[in-house]
Amino acid sequence: MRYNTRNPILTKDLSEGYAFESTERASFSGVAVKSGALILLIFAIAGGLWYNLDYNFATIEPYIFPLFIGSWIIGFISVLVASFSYRMAPLFTVIYAVAQGVFLGLFSYIVNMGYPTADIIPTAIMITFAIFGFLLFTYATGIFKVGFAFRKFVYAATFGVFIFMMIAMIGNAFGANLTGGFTPQILLIIYGGMILLASFHLLIDFDNAKKAVEYGAPKRAEWMLSLGLLVTLVWLYITIVRFLIILLGRRK
């Protein structure tokens, strides 16, 4: 039996298929347990870092920027390695979770410092998991279905967003602020669209897990599926935070 998927987080080896000899197969419970454990790991690291920043800010402050950039780079590399090395996926999925715990802890703390009375971070966390729960329910009950055309649209839109972001970054490096002229209303529409796009990726993640179980993917595939889900949740959370910041600025 062969397992085939278009999920870019899953490895080349897995997508090309395996003749499975092991009796251990991927299961929904396995994906759920691994995903839950990884999310708890991120929360634990981010929470611990936040606590230490509260009580030892002067000591940690010189290391904030290196930790912020370093954790982002490590997270990015971890996704690449896990995506192209099927057997290294378990290790680098955990490394990704650790790196994102540091990155999101710093990111959230900095945002909270800038908007101490706005409750942006707890609001973003609640919205993220509300979207996750809603989409999981609607997918499980068959309200939302994921077909080839849907995947093609989502991947094309994601590629378009990526190209725009790269152009904007290059423009900023050369002093051309391509997004500086956008009004708050336009930015809200842009980030609202990105929240919708990230939500669509969650549906694809759920569908990947379903197909993996149905096609008898090996137990190790659970790490790949959990990583894909984790990447989407991190993206969704960060996008929601930025949306709320713009919304707050518009109200002021």
**Nearest of 151, 134, 133 to residue 207 by alpha carbon:** 151
Overall average pLDDT of the 168-180 stretch: 70
A 10 A CB-CB count for 167 gives: 12
Measure the CA–CA gap between 243 and 252, rounded to whole angstroms.
Answer: 14
**In the predicted structure, residue 210 carries a pLDDT above the cut 70:** yes
Helix (H, G, I), strand (E, B) or coil at 185: helix
pLDDT at res. 11: 38
> Is the distance from CB of 219 to CB of 30 less than 8 angstroms?
yes
> CA dihedral defined by 130, 133, 134, 139, rounded to 10 degrees?
160
Q: How confident is the model at residue 46 (pLDDT cuts 50, 70, 90)?
A: very high
Residue that wins the pLDDT comparison between 230 and 181? 230
How many percent of the chain have pLDDT more than 70? 86
Tokens of 246: 């713009």
pLDDT at res. 37: 96
Per-residue pLDDT reduced to its tens digit, 67-112: 999 999 999 999 999 988 878 999 999 999 999 999 999 999 999 9
**Nearest of 206, 124, 190 to residue 157 by alpha carbon:** 190
pLDDT at res. 24: 81
**In the predicted structure, residue 10 carries a pLDDT above the cut 50:** no
How many percent of the chain have pLDDT more than 90? 64
**In the predicted structure, residue 22 carries a pLDDT above the cut 60:** no
Measure the CA–CA gap between 239 and 128, rounded to whole angstroms.
Answer: 10
pLDDT at res. 6: 44
**In the predicted structure, residue 246 carries a pLDDT above the cut 50:** yes
pLDDT at res. 121: 95
pLDDT at res. 14: 44
pLDDT at res. 103: 97
Q: How confident is the model at residue 12 (pLDDT cuts 50, 70, 90)?
A: very low
Query: Max Cα separation, the chain?
Result: 61
What is the rounded average pLDDT for all residues in the chain? 87
Predicted structure pTM score: 0.87
**In the predicted structure, residue 186 carries a pLDDT above the cut 70:** yes
pLDDT at res. 180: 65
